[in-house]
Structure 1
C-alpha cells in the first residue's frame, strides 16, 4: 500500500540527505494528538511515512516525518501549508504541519488503496477507458491548484493514488522554481503514457526510476499505439501532443474539460474526433496538431484537384491525338500508366508505411546452443501462428541466466531483405532480458548451426540487452537505409515463475516493416 510521499524518484529536498535519529515508535503520540500506528515506507526524499490516528477526531491519518526540522524542513512545511488551502475531492487533504526543530512532520489524509505505479506493476498497462478516467481526475485536481495561482510540481505515478473505493487523488505537492502550470499539464501526458504502456517518458515528463518510454535507435519516443495494440488513435494523439514541447500545452482547466468529454462516454470510441481544446479567450479552437491536420487535408484536396485537372487535360489531348492517328486510346493509356518510374519520383510515389509482415512457421525456428538438448525446437512455428494461447515454452532453469549457455532465441528468416521498423514480442510474463540481433544467413537447424548463430549474429543496438518491464517488448534500432533478412530475438535472462524455476512463454512475435 502506498501513501503520500511517493513522488519523483529524483526529487529530494535541496538541503541534502536526511539524517535520522531518535526514530519514532509505534504508539508514540505527536503534538498530543497524532498516534503512530505503522511505519509504511520511506519516500524518495528520505522522509518516513507512517499510518496514524488522530486521537481527537478518531480518523486515520498519514504522517510524514523529516529529520531534522528547522531550516532544512522549510520547503516541506511551506508546500504543506500551500496545499492545505486547496480543497478538492481529487487532492489529498492536508491537516497539519508542525516543526519541532529536531524533527518536522506533515499530517495528511490517509487513503486506503494503491499508487498508479503499484497498479501498473501488478496488473500491467491499463485499458484506455481506465487510463482516461485517472488522467481526468488528476487534471481536475491540477486545475483547482492552478486556479489559486499555485503549481503542484510532482505529478507522477507514485503520487497518483487510487483508493479502494475507486477515488483517484493526487498527493505530495512539491513545486520549485523550475515547475510551472505547463510542466504540470505535460506531466498529465506522462500519466497517460505510463498508464497505457507501463513506461514513463523521462525526457518529456521528468527523470524517474521508472522504466523510460519506448524509443527508437535515435532516441525518438514511440507513440503508445506503437508500443501496444488497441489504443484509440485520438487518445494516442492527445498523449503525444501533451508530451511534445513544440506544441503549446493547454491550460489544465481546458484539458480537464476535454478528458471529461472522453470519460463521460458510455462506450469508449476508437475515434473520438478532433481535439476540442479552446483558447484562453474562451472561443472555439483546435490544438496545433488538429489545425495542422486540417491544413494538410485542405492542401491534399487541392493537390488531388490539380492532379485530376492535369490528367483530365492530358486525357483529352491524348484522345484527340490518338483519334487523329488512329491509335487505340485504351492501350495507349495503359502503357503510359505502367511506364511511370516510382523510383524517379513520378506520380504515385507515396512512401510505403510500415506494417505487420506475414510470417509463417517455416520462417522461424528456435536457436538453442550446443549445451541445450534442442527439445524446444518443434515449438518455433507457434510464435507466429497468431494465437496468444500457444507459443514457445522454455524449459525451467535454476537461475535467470541459463547457467550453462549464453542464451536462447528465435531466428527469423524473412525470405528476402526488407526495410524494417520494429519487432514486437508478446510473452507470458514481464522480466525477460533480451535484445535483437542480425546476421547474414542461417547456417542450419542443428546444434552446430545454433552455435554458429549465437557466435556470429551481432546486436542491432549498442546499449546491450534490455529487461522487458511488461509482457510485451518492442525492439527497434533498425537503420532505415539498410535492409534485413535474418533476425534473432535473443533472450539472455528469464523471469522467475511461481514454482521457483526461471522460464517464460514467447506467445507471439511480430515483425513490422515494408
Structure 2
C-alpha cells in the first residue's frame, strides 16, 4: 500500500529534500501521533508517514513538511478547510499542526491503493467501474464546492480505492489559483485515465489539477499530428458512446462544464443499481456549452454536447423515462437527428434504430455448488438459491477459520443461464454480513467432481466481473461490471471468506437467493 501525499512519486526535477529536523520512526508528534514507517516523498517536498494515534489507537497518515513556516502555510490552510467537509468519499482530516521548524497534517489512513497504482498494475478499468469511481469523485467535489472551496488536486494519485472498495479523494491543495472548473476538468482526466491507462493532459496539464505533481509518471494520451488526444473509444474497445462523450466534453475547453452537483447526479444516474434499470432506455445526459440559452437537443454522435443545470438533467431523464426516445427535437422545429447506436456507438444511417432490449430478470436454468477441495457433503441444496425464497437457501458447513482452511480456496455457486445473454447485474442475498466474495465468468461447463470443480475455478478466474466484495457490511451483493458488448452464459458466485457466526463459534455463510438481470 502506498499512501502518497500528492498521490505521485517525486519527479526527477524535484528539489532534494532537506534533512534538518527530519522525522524518525518511533517519534511521537504532539504527544499523540507515533511515526511508524516512512511511505513516500511527493514532488511538493512533503513526506508521508504511516503512524498511529496512540490515544484513539487507530492508524493514521502523517503528511509532514519541513522546514515549516511560510512554506507549509498552504498545506495547513488546505487541511483546515478540508476538515470542515465531512463526506464518505473524502479522506478524513484529523489534525493540522505547525511546530515552526516543521508542520504536519494528520489524516485518515486508507488501506488500499491509488487509482494510478491500480491501473498501472491491472490495466484500464471496465466502464462500469470507471463510472462508479467518477461518480464518487464528483460527489466528493460537490460537497467541497457547496462550501465555496476548491480541491485543486484531483488526479489518479489522489483518488484512493480502499481494500473494501470505498473510493476517496485525498490531499486538497488549493493555492488560490485553482478553480471549481479545474476540479471538474480533472474529473474528465480521471475518467480518461481509468478507461485508457493514459493521462490526457500530458506536458501541459490543467493548472491546479496536476501541474508539477508527478505527471511524468503517467503515460501521455495518444495524440494525432495536431496534438489532439484520441477519444477513449479510439484507444480501446468496449467504452460506451455516452461515457466517451461525457469524458471528452469535460476535457474540452470550448465546452463549459456542468456544476459539480449536476455532474455527480448524472454519473450517479449512470452508476445505477440493478433494480433501477428502468432508467436505462433514457440513455445518458449530454451537456451543452450554451449557458445563456435553453439546453440544445441531443446531436448525432459526431457532435458532442453537454447540457447544463438541474433542469436539463431532469428534463432529459424524464423524457427518456416517459417517451423512451434517445433523440430530442430542437426548439426550432427542425427534424431530429438520429443518436448513436447504444450498442455499438456508431451513428445510425438515418433510419429508425431498433429499440434496445428491455432489462429483465433472467431465468437460471441450472445451478450447483462448486467445492474444489471438499468431500462433496456441502454440494446439496443448491436449488434453494433460485427458489424465490430469501428465508432459506444453501449454506456452508461451520469452519474454524474465515478463509475456510485446509488449503481450501473457497466455495461457490455456479449458474447456467441456458444460453448466452447480455447481462446487466447479478445480485446475491446472504445470511450474514462480513463475507468476502467475487463474481467470475466462464465459457464452458465442467464435470461435477472435485477435479471438475478445480478445472472450472481455474478457467473462470480468468474473467472477474466488477469489483470483489471484502468483508462486506451488508447482506446483499450486487455485481454490475459486465461488458455490454459481450454475452454470458456461465457465472460463478465465488466465496473467499466466511463471516463469524453470531453464536457457537466458527465461521459460516448461507446464500439465500441469487438473481440475474439482463436481456
Which band: TM-score by shorter chain? Answer: 0.5 to 0.7
Map residues 110-189 of structure 1 onto 2, 5 A cutoff. 110-189=109-188
The answer on whether the counterparts of 2:49 and 2:62 sit within 8 Å (CA) in structure 1 is yes
- 2:70 is paired with a residue whose SS is helix
Q: Give the direction of change, closer, same or farther, for the CA distance of 1:186–1:97 in structure 2 (3 Å limit).
A: same
Structure 2: gaps spanning 5 or more residues: 288-306, 318-324, 338-348, 350-519
2:236 to 228, 234, 239: 228
Structure 2 partner of 1:419: none
| Residues 192-249 of structure 1: CA deviation (Å, up to 9, x unaligned) | 0000000111146454221111111111111000011110011001101111111110
Structure 1 partner of 2:219: 211
Distance in structure 1 (CA, Å) of the matches to 2:61 and 2:260: 28
Map residues 288-437 of structure 1 onto 2, 5 A cutoff. 295=330
The answer to whether residue 242 in structure 2 is matched with residue 259 in structure 1 is: no
**TM-score w.r.t. structure 1 length?**
0.54
Structure 2 partner of 1:238: 246
Distance in structure 2 (CA, Å) of the matches to 1:61 and 1:168: 17
Structure 1 partner of 2:66: 67
Distance in structure 1 (CA, Å) of the matches to 2:220 and 2:144: 28
Distance in structure 2 (CA, Å) of the matches to 1:50 and 1:10: 15
Distance in structure 1 (CA, Å) of the matches to 2:78 and 2:327: 40
Distance in structure 2 (CA, Å) of the matches to 1:113 and 1:63: 16
Structure 2 partner of 1:438: none
1:274 positional shift: 3.9
1:301 positional shift: 6.1
Greater than 6 Å deviation, 4+ residue runs: 8-12, 267-272, 290-293
The answer to whether residue 283 in structure 2 is matched with residue 273 in structure 1 is: yes
- 2:274 is paired with a residue whose SS is coil
1:104 positional shift: 0.8
1:6 positional shift: 2.8
Distance in structure 2 (CA, Å) of the matches to 1:176 and 1:91: 19
| C-alpha RMSD of the superposition | 3.3
The answer on whether the counterparts of 1:194 and 1:200 sit within 8 Å (CA) in structure 2 is yes
Structure 2 partner of 1:3: 3
Give the stretch that moved more between structures: 206-215 or 226-235.
206-215
1:142 positional shift: 0.4
| Residues 1-32 of structure 1: CA deviation (Å, up to 9, x unaligned) | 222413467999x9x87533232221111110
The answer on whether the counterparts of 2:282 and 2:316 sit within 8 Å (CA) in structure 1 is no
Structure 2 partner of 1:421: none
| Residues 272-312 of structure 1: CA deviation (Å, up to 9, x unaligned) | 6241666447464679xx9998559975669xxxxxxxxxx
Structure 2 partner of 1:390: none
The answer on whether the counterparts of 1:65 and 1:106 sit within 8 Å (CA) in structure 2 is yes
Q: Give the direction of change, closer, same or farther, for the CA distance of 1:63–1:223 in structure 2 (3 Å limit).
A: same
1:188 positional shift: 0.6
Structure 1: gaps spanning 5 or more residues: 303-347, 349-514
- 1:74 is paired with a residue whose SS is helix
The answer on whether the counterparts of 1:190 and 1:243 sit within 8 Å (CA) in structure 2 is yes
Distance in structure 1 (CA, Å) of the matches to 2:51 and 2:63: 10
- 1:95 is paired with a residue whose SS is strand
The answer on whether the counterparts of 1:151 and 1:181 sit within 8 Å (CA) in structure 2 is yes
Distance in structure 2 (CA, Å) of the matches to 1:195 and 1:232: 14
Distance in structure 1 (CA, Å) of the matches to 2:256 and 2:233: 22
Distance in structure 2 (CA, Å) of the matches to 1:8 and 1:61: 19
Q: How many residues align?
A: 300
| Residues 336-380 of structure 1: CA deviation (Å, up to 9, x unaligned) | xxxxxxxxxxxx9xxxxxxxxxxxxxxxxxxxxxxxxxxxxxxxx
The answer to whether residue 27 in structure 2 is matched with residue 28 in structure 1 is: yes
Structure 1 partner of 2:92: 93
> Greater helix percent: which structure?
1
The answer on whether the counterparts of 1:5 and 1:44 sit within 8 Å (CA) in structure 2 is no
The answer on whether the counterparts of 2:25 and 2:36 sit within 8 Å (CA) in structure 1 is yes
Distance in structure 2 (CA, Å) of the matches to 1:173 and 1:155: 8
The answer on whether the counterparts of 1:8 and 1:156 sit within 8 Å (CA) in structure 2 is no
Q: Give the direction of change, closer, same or farther, for the CA distance of 1:235–1:101 in structure 2 (3 Å limit).
A: same
Distance in structure 1 (CA, Å) of the matches to 2:250 and 2:57: 42
**TM-score w.r.t. structure 2 length?**
0.53
| Residues 130-183 of structure 1: CA deviation (Å, up to 9, x unaligned) | 000011111110000000110000000000000001000000000123211111
- 1:51 is paired with a residue whose SS is strand
The answer on whether the counterparts of 2:137 and 2:167 sit within 8 Å (CA) in structure 1 is yes
Distance in structure 2 (CA, Å) of the matches to 1:204 and 1:292: 35
The answer on whether the counterparts of 1:204 and 1:244 sit within 8 Å (CA) in structure 2 is no
Q: Give the direction of change, closer, same or farther, for the CA distance of 1:270–1:227 in structure 2 (3 Å limit).
A: farther
Distance in structure 1 (CA, Å) of the matches to 2:261 and 2:79: 23
